[in-house]
Amino acid sequence: MQKSRVEQAFSDYADIVLRAAWHMTGRMQEAEDCTQEAFLRLLSAPDHMTDAHILPWLIRTAVNLAKDYRKSAEHTRTVSLESDQISLGYTEFTSREESVLSIIMSLPKEVRVPMCLHFVEGYSIDETAEMLHTPRATIASRIRRARIKIKALCTEHHFRKEDAAI
Structural contact between residues 6 and 39, judged by C-beta atoms closer than 8 angstroms: yes
* Domain ranges in the chain with CATH number 1.10.10.10: 89-166
Q: What is the pLDDT of residue 44?
A: 87
Q: Which residues have CB under 8 Å from 123's CB, separation 6+?
A: 117, 131
pLDDT in tens, 116-162: 888 888 889 998 898 888 999 999 999 999 888 888 888 887 766 55
Q: What is the pLDDT of residue 34?
A: 93
pLDDT in tens, 33-86: 999 999 999 988 887 888 888 989 999 999 889 888 877 745 555 545 444 444
DSSP code for 116? I
Architecture of domain 1-82: Orthogonal Bundle (1.10)
Q: What is the pLDDT of residue 160?
A: 60
* Domain ranges in the chain with CATH number 1.10.1740: 1-82
For the range 61-64, what are the long-range contacts, defined as Cβ-Cβ under 8 Å and sequence gap of 24 or more?
61/37, 62/17, 62/18, 62/20, 62/21, 62/24, 62/31, 62/34, 62/35, 62/37, 62/38, 63/20, 63/21, 63/24, 63/113, 63/131, 63/132
Which class is domain 89-166? mainly alpha
Residue 51 host element (H or E):
helix 51-71
